[in-house]
Every structure is written in structure tokens, then in C-alpha cells.
Amino acid sequence: MLILKKNDLNLTGVLQKGLETFKVELKKIVPQLIAIFIALLVGSMVLLATGFSPIEAYGALLLGAFGDIYGIGQTLTQATPIIFTSLAFLFAFKAGLFNIGAEGQFLVGALAAAIVGIFFNGLPNIVHISLALLAGAFFGGLYAFIPAILKTKLGAHEVITTMMLTYVAIYLTGYLVTDIFKAPGWVSQTPLISPTAELPRILPPTQLSASIFLGIILVFLTYYTLQKTVLGYEIRAIGLNPLAAENGGINVKKGLILALVISGALAGIGGAGEILGVHKRFIDGFSPGYGWDGLAVALIGGLNPFGAFLAALLIGILRSGGMTMNRVTGVPIDIVTILQALVILFVAAPVFIKYLIRRGKKI
């Protein structure tokens, strides 16, 4: 006879509730899934028009993304940094802020983690890794604090300030690794971080690291913060109607600052994870634009943390499988870029237009 303890019943209830919540959130992104399907159909027309078989092309893409352990590892590796930057964008967006500076915050956090990883020696692994990740979060958040203050104190629009600060971050980090923190050699990069600061690799020989687990944890934490906490309620209230939120006793300026700082911290952690888990040093130009990708992925995911996670996986599939598609079927790699653009166009454009309309009514 099976006897269930009280704690077992509580755990079962929690798991069931969590599963129900996950199902509810998935239903919210059904329109995005339909849009992705339509985008792939249009992509099939592009493939046919250029003389390639959509069945063979998509088959090769899926084979490259999931055909073996290496493909799976590379798909998740491509998706990991985008998970963080997409969470960064959507967190700020919930407060009505359009933070397009995640790329800069990502880079600042990455360099901060690299410096901690290089110069803080003799520490236990868990302490060293934690300090490096905290440094990434702190400096990513600090960098986002600048446009937050400019907006709340001077009324400067966050789209302009975050964009300009991104370019500042690109050139500033480039200068620092070309001059002050440069390792010997002709490549603009820092020395290798200490082994005690390295995130463990998963699925070798791929570059997938434990950063993927950190990203998954932050997906759930972001959802919980936005949906289940007072801070999340205030941020969402500000995003829906700042005047009504202020009349309801919410400190709007404080909420805007917190939303941008947390957004920057999320991006900074993503940058730190890339350095500690993949590159083991800061290399000038190592990011192909993860911050910009995060913006698109957040919109593809319906501005939902779980949807953003799935959308990041989709981009990882397209990028990882795209190489196999090119090698096996001869489809130009540019076609993969077209497929990504179609997905973003079909899914993200309506969300962005609705945002612009809402902002226009407030002005």
C-alpha cells in the first residue's frame, strides 16, 4: 500500500500548479507560433524560387540542429546569450521602456566579468564564479542606470540614450582590450581568465556551458518577479498607464529606474556567462549583436519569458542548422538570414506597431 506523506502532497501540488501555469503561458504565444509557421511557408516559396527543395533544406536544417550531440550543443550555445538579452528587453518593456541598449550592457558586463576572472586569483571556484557573475550584473545594471536617470530627471528618451550608449560601450570596451587589458599578441583580447572562474562545459566538445542553466533559472525568476511580486505589479502598472499608476500611489520614477537597472543587469549576466563559459577571455567584437537579437526574440516570444526562451531556441536552430543546410544542400547561408528576417517580420512587426500606437496616444 502506497503511503504519501504531507510533504509529498505539497510537492505534487506545487509541481501541478507550475505545470498549469506553464500551459497557460504557452497558450499566450499561440499567435506567435502560427506566425512562425507562416514565415516558414513564405521561406519555402523563397527556396523554391531560388531552385532549392524546401523539404530537403528544412530537413538538413533540423538535422544540423538536432541530428547529434554536437548539433544540440551548438544550438543551445547559440541560443544562450540571446535568452539573457531577450529577458533584458522584455523586462524594461513591461514598464513601457524601449531598452535597445542591451548590447552595450551585455558588453560592459562581459568585460567586468573578464576582469574579475583575470585579477581575482586564489578563490574557490564557486566564490570566483559568483563574483564574476555579480560583477557582470552590477556593471550591466550600472550602465543602464545612466539612461534611467537621464529619462527620469531630464526627460531624455530611452531609445536615443540607450542606442548611443551602446556605441559608447562598443568603442570603450574595444579601447580597453586593445590597450589597458590587452594580452600579448596581435589580437585585441584580454588574457585568459583563471580556471577557478570558468563555468563548466556541458556536452563536450561543444561550447555549451552551465550558463544555459542560469538562463533557464532567470526565465522563471523574471516571470515570477513580473507576475507574482509587488515590484512586478508596479512595473506592469507603469507600463500600462503611468499616470494611473502614479495616482494609485506608485512611485513611477523609481519604478522606471528599477526596470532599466534590472534590465541592464540581466544583459550583463548574459555577457558574463559568455566570457566565463565560452570564450574564457574578452575578445573585441566577440558579440555578433546578441543585444539586437534579444530585442527581436523578446517580440517573437510575445514579451513573455517562456516565449522568449522558445524564440531564442528557434534562432539557435536557424543559426546552428543553417550551416548544415548550406553544406548538405548548397543553400546559400544568406537564405538562413532571410528566414530569420521573415520570422521577425511576421511576428515582431505587429507587436512593435501596437507599441508605437500606444506610445503615440500617451504623447
Of the chain, the end-to-end C-alpha distance in Å amounts to 67
pLDDT digits (tens, 9 = 90+) for 225-265: 999 999 999 999 999 999 999 988 999 999 999 999 999 99
Rounded to 10°, the helix 252-274/211-228 angle is: 170
Angle at which helix 252-274 crosses helix 69-93, to 10 degrees, equals 160
Query: pLDDT tens-digit profile of 6-56?
Result: 555 566 665 676 666 666 666 666 777 777 788 888 889 988 988 888 888
Domain ranges of the chain: 31-362
Residue 294 — pLDDT band, cuts 50, 70, 90? very high
273 is written with which cell numbers? 556567462
- For residues 263 and 40, give the distance between their C-alpha atoms in angstroms, rounded to a whole number: 31
By residue count, the chain amounts to 363
- Residue 283: strand pairing partners: 189
Element (H, E) at 176: helix 158-178
Taking the C-alpha atoms of residue 91 and residue 261, their distance in angstroms, rounded to an integer, is 10
For the ranges 4-18, 132-146, 196-210, 248-262, the lowest mean pLDDT is seen at 4-18
The Cα 121–Cα 196 span in angstroms is: 8
- pLDDT score recorded for residue 1: 42
Helix or strand holding residue 48 (H, E): helix 30-49
C-alpha 163, offset from chain centre = 17
Per-residue pLDDT at 358 exceeds 90 = no
What tens digit of pLDDT does each residue of 303-337 get?
899 989 998 998 898 888 888 888 888 888 788 78
Task: List the single range of 5-19, 38-52, 128-142, 278-292 with lowest mean pLDDT.
Answer: 5-19
pLDDT at 2 over 60: no
Averaged pLDDT of the chain: 88
- From 1.20.120, 1.10.1740, 1.10.3470, 1.10.10, which CATH number describes the 31-362 domain? 1.10.3470
Residue range 152-184, pLDDT digits in tens:
999 999 999 999 999 999 999 999 999 999 999
Does the pLDDT at position 108 exceed 50?
Answer: yes
Whether residue 111 has pLDDT greater than 60: yes
pTM of the model: 0.86
Higher pLDDT, 218 or 330: 218
